[in-house]
Structure 1
Amino acid sequence: MIANTEQKNLIKTARITGLWYLMMAITGILGFMVFHSQIFVSGNPEQTLTNLIELESTARIRLLLEFGIVISQALTAVWFFKLFKDNYEWEAWTLGIWGMVNALVIMISAISIASAIGIANSDISAMEDKVLLIQVFQHIISNAWGIGGLFFGLWLFPMGYIVIKSKRMPIWLGRVIVLGGIGYVLSTLIHYAGIDFSFNEYLTLPATIGEFWMIGYLLIFGIRPSYK
């Protein structure tokens, strides 16, 4: 009876974790992949400045979605820790801490987006000064997400390790997640080493597959009973 109650509580925790993870995915796709390019034009701070002024409402939606990513990433990390801490405390702490680092990295991007909106709509009269500041913030946003790839990858290692070791989720799910973590770290290192590798963007594909698989498994199945 006690075991059944504990399992039901774990499944509930797993599904809440999946909901936060899904929210992170949704806000990430909308914010970074849909709205971002509507405002921030790579290599063109002049057009970006124009967009920030003329499409201020869209820019603020982009900012709010960044807030959503930060909040959902932090809560996903906390709930993963809650899900795994009883049997894999060290790994759960690692997963939780590295997940929180992800949230902090994205927060740097959010601060820069908020600053860019503020500068664009400020009383600064010299357009050249505005353009220069916008360019700086664009670089910070881009590099926060770019260098953030290190920890976007690292937090997948303990996640995948726990899945493989516990066998409470499909073992291949854990392996794909670990492979995704390796891909993220390698992709980031290759990019910032200045190496021209045409397939670099595909290195993070296993992470995308693994994370959506994890979201689906958490929401549908939760977590298997322990066989120990």
Structure 2
Amino acid sequence: MNVKTESTSSPKRLARIAGVFYLLVALFGGFAEGFGDPKMYVAGNAAATAANVLADPGLVRMIVVAHLVNAVFFILTAMAFYILFQHVNKSVAMAMLICVALSAGITTLNAVFQFEGLQVATNSSYVDAFGAAGSNALVLLLLDIQHYGTLSAQVFFGLWLAPLGYLAYKSGLFPKALGVTLVAATVYYLVHLITAFLVPDFHKQIQPFILIVIIAEVWLLGYLLIVGVRNVKPGKNILAAATV
């Protein structure tokens, strides 16, 4: 009897752990990408970008740290999901984990460029060497790299939702509609990324479809924290690996 209770509680515990990690990803990522980056970076305007960085260097440091912490919790989220889903399809679960690792790696590298932008803006030797205009241009270049690098990381940030959606759908641990919505969010991320580089005008027109991503991720996060996972009928033995 104790074994049965333990086996059914372990997946819920794993799901809620993943939910807490995913919540931290949302908080740190939302602060860094939703608030911090736009506050510093002004596309095509070197003087304004450098002025923003100089106006609040402490905030820039917080943004950089938030990017790094976000990447750590993103990896931890994927590891929790891997343990939860490896019994469904180990290869697909591994693909999910690899996508997250690549996305986190790109994000952490981009944070270095952002920090270097701060170094250039606050170090007078760059002004002495390149002049004010040249120093500002270098700050903008570094934040340009960080901006488009973060955008490029969406390749893998989007792709990880496809195997996650498949695993959620096949496992029976989550509503099948949630799995389908996660895969749809992958499609949006990839279209969003491609249009940003190829057809910027059309890229702006599809922004409202980000609602798909919001629904998918909020639904997943809420389900993890509130429900955990569905109770699976006895005899389906799909939780064996999750209880190891």
TM more than 0.5 = yes
Distance 1:53 1:195, change over 3 A: closer
The structural deviation recorded for 1:195 is 5.5
Aligned to 2:47: 46
Q: Is 218-227 or 156-165 further displaced after alignment?
A: 218-227
Whether the 8 Å contact between 2:88 and 2:167 is mirrored in structure 1 is no
Q: For residues 174 and 20 of structure 1, what CA distance do their matches in structure 2 show?
A: 19
Gaps of 5+ in 2: 237-244
Gaps of 5+ in 1: none
**Larger RCO (CA within 8 A; separation ≥ 6):** 2
Structure index of larger Rg: 2
Aligned to 2:134: 129
Aligned residue-pair number: 228
Aligned to 2:218: 212
Whether the 8 Å contact between 1:39 and 1:58 is mirrored in structure 2 is no
> What is the RMSD of the two structures over their aligned residues, measured on CA atoms?
1.6
Q: For residues 196 and 129 of structure 1, what CA distance do their matches in structure 2 show?
A: 30
Aligned to 2:68: 67
Per-residue CA deviations over 1:49-89 (Å, capped at 9, x if unaligned) read: 12222211111121121122211111111111122113321
Q: For residues 100 and 214 of structure 2, what CA distance do their matches in structure 1 show?
A: 16
Correspondence list, 1:183-194, <5 A? 183-194=188-199
Q: Is 82-91 or 175-184 further displaced after alignment?
A: 82-91
Q: For residues 11 and 63 of structure 1, what CA distance do their matches in structure 2 show?
A: 33
Whether the 8 Å contact between 2:117 and 2:140 is mirrored in structure 1 is no
Whether the 8 Å contact between 1:186 and 1:203 is mirrored in structure 2 is no
Aligned to 1:143: 148
Per-residue CA deviations over 1:34-60 (Å, capped at 9, x if unaligned) read: 222222222212121122222111111
Distance 1:51 1:191, change over 3 A: closer
TM-score normalised by structure 1 residue count: 0.93
Percent of pairs identical after alignment? Answer: 25
Q: For residues 209 and 105 of structure 1, what CA distance do their matches in structure 2 show?
A: 25
Q: For residues 217 and 149 of structure 1, what CA distance do their matches in structure 2 show?
A: 23
